[in-house]
């Protein structure tokens, strides 16, 4: 006993060091902040702001548009569905479901809304890769047959919103969707001039003169920002680069690919983010006739002919070898560059002071690789960004140089951002399938525990070959597997999670998992605990997740739970899935469910 008391501080110190080691080793990976990736995203350096979950349960969402306060249309890339989220709930039926080709970055990609809602006229512009068969994923191998078919095209349609459905589609632009399956672009915005702006990339093949391939094919609509009226026509008297179709629809060109455009609310000027080939991601101010330089220049560097994934020499301010349409096309350098790719996506101007006056009309940029949000101030003339220290050269030369511009993290793949009618910033998370928003902390609401899963009143039950013990506030699950086959062992807790509406449910676990076989899987799962079983004899899985650390180190993870786990009898299950003979242990040190 005395020995144990002496050991306790040492064990505590060891666990603390182990935890710090985990933090540091994650930090050295790609993202300082990814330790938070399974909780709510966090805001750095501003204690007055926090993130909230608006909706969870979307399937690979790519883009969104507001119909009104708490009324959002969201696109699901691979299904071709336009879902509608009203007051934090998804309507039972999508507003539209089209057939999309969905390989790589193909799918339903861009949306914006225009019209006069008070007169009941709402037009929805949708950009998607249209399937050539009456199914989604026609360009992939199907379950039983591998006979992929090329898509019909990357197409921009105008729909009308009537009785909650998108109807009367009208094809405005019919653009190529081949030869490549990537770099389809996608962002659609109705500009302050009421015209429709769309970006499409080079489809992985910079083969036209719009990609600065001076001996290439004629313009085909790819590699640029296209601008048309809401009826799909070129703008009368404003053919920037030339009169022939489709050259007359180009607002900018030389764009490898983009997932984000927005208009400066003060100047009306267009900005974009662009994606380089493993180097040279960009933020650009786009004047009419802008040439971004691809495929000759990316970032500030000439393309390297011997290895297209590595930057070549720095190009002069007027690079040679560009197509300029008799001087009508004008190259300019980006306003910001990431040397190592982060894959920037959405760009949004904060045309609101609801997050604080210091952010009014500032730029936010999201990325897909790290799930980070980056913040930029503009200069007085709003022609560039205010950049200091190691960023004064306009280049994040290393990931560490991003430190001063990372505003938020843990968004797990940002695909779109919009300032809502309420003035808060809404952020779409691709991998979480979630809409978050950033709001001010008006009052600190303490996290209230709904249920402590290790409470003495909570009796866990073993199943399969598990033995369990509940000592000193730790629940330990042991599996001594002597069978060579895969075996599901579990402990479960029959319980009920009561909670109040409009709160975010979080499951917090501190655990140590290890297996001397190295091939056990540990997971946590919530199932319905009704007296009825599904037809296959199982109980319905409401939510599940893997436990990610099996190193034997103490690990803290937080999980956002869906609303449907609450207010009904459930079983919380801890699984140890063994695939051979051995000892497997899962020790739960802390487990509670709270709401935010």
- Least separation in angstroms between residue 282's CB and Ca ion is 5
Paired tokens of 461: 């039950």
User: Is 292 an interacting residue with respect to Ca ion (CB under 5 A)?
Assistant: yes
User: Is 362 an interacting residue with respect to Ca ion (CB under 5 A)?
Assistant: yes
Q: What is the rounded distance in angstroms from the CA atom of residue 46 to the CA atom of residue 61?
A: 28
User: Is 97 an interacting residue with respect to Ca ion (CB under 5 A)?
Assistant: yes
Number of H helices, E strands in the chain: 1, 43
Q: What is the signed CA dihedral for 138, 142, 145, 149, rounded to 10 degrees?
A: 10
Q: What is the DSSP string of 552-573?
A: SS-EEEEEEEPGGGSSSEEEEE
DSSP for residue 490: E
Q: What is the signed CA dihedral for 102, 105, 108, 112, rounded to 10 degrees?
A: 180
* Residue with smaller CB distance to Ca ion, 333 or 592: 333
- Least separation in angstroms between residue 559's CB and Ca ion is 29
- Least separation in angstroms between residue 378's CB and Ca ion is 8
Choice from 96, 114, 210, 395 touching Ca ion (CB under 5 A)? 395
* Residue with smaller CB distance to Ca ion, 258 or 481: 258
- Least separation in angstroms between residue 388's CB and Ca ion is 11
User: Is 293 an interacting residue with respect to Ca ion (CB under 5 A)?
Assistant: yes
Neighbour count for residue 487 (Cβ, 10 Å): 19
Residue 279, Ramachandran bin (φ over 0: left; ψ between -120 and 50: alpha; else beta): beta
Q: Nearest-CA neighbor of 438 among 362, 499, 382?
A: 362
* Residue with smaller CB distance to Ca ion, 79 or 257: 79
* Residue with smaller CB distance to Ca ion, 355 or 505: 355
Neighbour count for residue 318 (Cβ, 10 Å): 10
* Residue with smaller CB distance to Ca ion, 212 or 523: 212
* Residue with smaller CB distance to Ca ion, 160 or 377: 377
- Please work out the total of residues on this chain that contact Ca ion, with binding judged by CB under 5 A: 13
Q: Answer yes or no: are the C-beta atoms of 547 and 509 closer than 8 Å.
A: yes
* Residue with smaller CB distance to Ca ion, 212 or 489: 212
- Least separation in angstroms between residue 97's CB and Ca ion is 5
Of all helices (H) and strands (E), which one includes residue 11?
helix 2-27
Q: What is the rounded distance in angstroms from the CA atom of residue 502 to the CA atom of residue 302?
A: 52
Paired tokens of 76: 């699901």
* Residue with smaller CB distance to Ca ion, 136 or 432: 136
- Least separation in angstroms between residue 387's CB and Ca ion is 9
User: Is 397 an interacting residue with respect to Ca ion (CB under 5 A)?
Assistant: yes
117 to 176, contacts with Ca ion by CB under 5 A? 136
Tokens 């790819």 correspond to 222
Q: What is the rounded distance in angstroms from the CA atom of residue 539 to the CA atom of residue 528?
A: 6
Phi, psi of 248 (to 5 degrees): -70, -10
* Residue with smaller CB distance to Ca ion, 424 or 595: 424
Q: Are strands 260-263 and 270-274 parallel, antiparallel or unpaired?
A: antiparallel
- Least separation in angstroms between residue 136's CB and Ca ion is 4
Alpha helices in 137-248 (DSSP H): none
- Least separation in angstroms between residue 442's CB and Ca ion is 21
Q: What is the rounded distance in angstroms from the CA atom of residue 152 to the CA atom of residue 100?
A: 9
Q: Is 152 helix (H, G, I), strand (E, B) or coil?
A: coil
Stretch that binds Ca ion, among 66-74, 389-397, 479-487, 552-560 (CB under 5 A): 389-397
- Least separation in angstroms between residue 151's CB and Ca ion is 13
- Least separation in angstroms between residue 394's CB and Ca ion is 7
- Least separation in angstroms between residue 122's CB and Ca ion is 22
User: Is 377 an interacting residue with respect to Ca ion (CB under 5 A)?
Assistant: yes
* Residue with smaller CB distance to Ca ion, 112 or 130: 130
Q: What is the rounded distance in angstroms from the CA atom of residue 389 to the CA atom of residue 401?
A: 9
User: Is 390 an interacting residue with respect to Ca ion (CB under 5 A)?
Assistant: yes
Choice from 39, 80, 186, 433 touching Ca ion (CB under 5 A)? 80
- Least separation in angstroms between residue 89's CB and Ca ion is 21
* Residue with smaller CB distance to Ca ion, 335 or 557: 335
User: Is 220 an interacting residue with respect to Ca ion (CB under 5 A)?
Assistant: no
Q: Are strands 290-291 and 330-331 parallel, antiparallel or unpaired?
A: parallel
* Residue with smaller CB distance to Ca ion, 358 or 496: 358
Complete edge-to-edge strand list for the sheet that includes strand 279-286: 260-263, 270-274, 279-286, 336-340, 395-396
Q: Answer yes or no: are the C-beta atoms of 108 and 187 closer than 8 Å.
A: no
* Residue with smaller CB distance to Ca ion, 38 or 301: 301
Complete edge-to-edge strand list for the sheet that includes strand 121-130: 108-116, 121-130, 153-162, 165-175
> Longest Cα pair distance anywhere in the chain, in angstroms?
90
Tokens 């070898």 correspond to 321
User: Is 221 an interacting residue with respect to Ca ion (CB under 5 A)?
Assistant: no
Stretch that binds Ca ion, among 80-88, 192-200, 241-249, 481-489 (CB under 5 A): 80-88
Tokens 């640029």 correspond to 224
- Least separation in angstroms between residue 386's CB and Ca ion is 8
Where along the sequence are the contacts to Ca ion (CB under 5 A)? 79-80, 97, 136, 292-293, 358, 362, 377, 390, 393, 395, 397
């Amino acid at each position: 006993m005395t020995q144990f008391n002496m050991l306790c501080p040492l064990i505590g110190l060891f666990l603390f060091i182990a935890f710090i080691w985990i933090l540091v080793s994650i930090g050295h990976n790609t993202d300082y902040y990814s330790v938070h990736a399974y909780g709510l995203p966090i805001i750095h350096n501003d204690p007055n702001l926090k993130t909230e979950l608006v909706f969870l349960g979307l399937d690979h969402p790519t883009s969104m548009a507001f119909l009104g306060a708490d009324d959002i249309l969201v696109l699901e890339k691979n299904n071709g569905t336009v879902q509608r989220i009203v007051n934090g709930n998804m309507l039972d039926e999508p507003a539209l479901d089209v057939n999309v080709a969905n390989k790589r970055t193909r799918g339903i990609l861009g949306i914006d809304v225009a019209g006069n809602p008070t007169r009941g006229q709402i037009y929805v512009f949708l950009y998607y890769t249209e399937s050539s068969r009456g199914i989604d994923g026609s360009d992939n191998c199907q379950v039983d047959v591998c006979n992929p078919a090329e898509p019909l095209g990357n197409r921009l349609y105008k729909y009308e919103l009537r009785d909650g459905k998108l109807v009367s589609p009208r094809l405005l632009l019919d653009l190529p969707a081949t030869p490549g399956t990537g770099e389809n672009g996608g962002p659609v915005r109705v500009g302050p001039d009421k015209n429709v702006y769309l970006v499409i990339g080079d489809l992985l093949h910079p083969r036209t003169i719009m990609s600065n391939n001076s001996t290439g094919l004629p313009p085909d609509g790819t590699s640029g920002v296209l601008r048309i009226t809401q009826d799909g026509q070129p703008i009368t008297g404003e053919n920037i680069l030339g009169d022939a179709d489709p050259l007359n629809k180009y607002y900018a060109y030389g764009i490898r690919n983009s997932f984000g455009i927005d208009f400066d609310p003060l100047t009306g000027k267009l900005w974009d983010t662009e994606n380089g080939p493993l180097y040279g991601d960009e933020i650009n101010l786009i004047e009419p006739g802008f040439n971004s330089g691809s495929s000759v220049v990316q970032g500030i560097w000439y393309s390297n002919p011997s290895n297209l994934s590595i930057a070549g020499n720095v190009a002069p301010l007027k690079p040679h070898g560009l197509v300029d349409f008799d001087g009508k096309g004008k190259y300019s350098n980006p306003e910001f560059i990431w040397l190592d790719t982060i894959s920037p996506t959405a760009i949004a101007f904060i045309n609101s002071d609801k997050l604080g006056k210091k952010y009014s009309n500032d730029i936010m940029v999201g990325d897909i690789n790290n799930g980070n949000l980056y913040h930029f101030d503009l200069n007085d003339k709003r022609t560039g960004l205010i950049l200091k220290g190691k960023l004064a050269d306009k280049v994040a030369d290393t990931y560490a140089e991003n430190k001063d511009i990372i505003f938020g993290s843990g968004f797990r793949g940002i695909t779109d951002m919009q300032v809502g009618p309420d003035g808060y910033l809404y952020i779409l998370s691709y991998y979480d399938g979630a809409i978050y928003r950033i709001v001010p902390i008006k009052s600190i609401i303490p996290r209230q525990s709904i249920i402590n899963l290790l409470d003495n009143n909570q009796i866990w039950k073993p199943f399969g070959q598990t033995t369990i013990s509940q000592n000193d506030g730790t629940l330990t699950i042991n599996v001594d597997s002597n069978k060579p086959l895969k075996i599901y062992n579990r402990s479960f807790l029959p319980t009920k999670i009561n909670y109040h509406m409009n709160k975010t449910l979080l499951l917090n676990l501190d655990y140590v998992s290890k297996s001397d076989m190295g091939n056990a899987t540990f997971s946590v799962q919530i199932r319905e605990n009704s007296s009825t079983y599904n037809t296959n004899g199982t109980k319905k899985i409401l939510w599940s997740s893997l436990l990610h650390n099996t190193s034997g180190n103490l690990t803290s993870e937080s999980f956002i739970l869906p609303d449907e786990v609450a207010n009904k009898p459930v079983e919380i299950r801890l699984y140890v899935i063994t695939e051979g003979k051995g000892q497997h242990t899962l020790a739960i040190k802390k487990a509670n469910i709270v709401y935010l």
